[in-house]
């Protein structure tokens, strides 16, 4: 993933498009460990940027991104993925 966003920003953007993801899936997509993904989710929850509730099993939680951030974050995740798929990466000076 590019360096345009912080790790918490990447987690937020990923959750906007995939709210039922496990911590392992979040970590894999963002490029961090599941423990780091959990830390980011806790930070986002404390900042009231996401809400969490149990899903269909005890290990899964649905994380909903607060609106209007949800639509923006989902679009940002798609843009980041598209840039990466096309071989484009951004350095911090290009952001």
Digit-coded pLDDT (tens) for 45-81 = 888 888 888 766 666 677 777 665 656 666 666 666 6
Is the bond preceding 55 in cis, omega lying within 30 degrees of 0? no
Question: Which 3 state secondary structure label does DSSP give 16?
Answer: helix
pLDDT value at position 37? 93
pLDDT tens digits, one per residue of 13-24: 888 888 888 899
Helix pair angle (69-85, 7-17), 10° resolution: 100
């Amino acid at each position: 993933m590019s360096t345009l966003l912080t790790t918490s920003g990447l987690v937020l953007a990923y959750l906007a498009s995939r709210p039922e993801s496990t911590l392992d899936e979040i970590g894999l997509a963002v490029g961090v460990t599941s423990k780091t993904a959990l830390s980011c989710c806790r930070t986002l929850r404390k900042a009231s940027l996401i809400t969490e509730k149990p899903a269909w099993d005890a290990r899964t939680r649905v994380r909903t991104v607060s609106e209007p951030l949800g639509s923006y974050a989902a679009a940002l995740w798609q843009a980041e993925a598209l840039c990466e798929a096309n071989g484009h990466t951004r350095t911090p000076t290009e952001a």
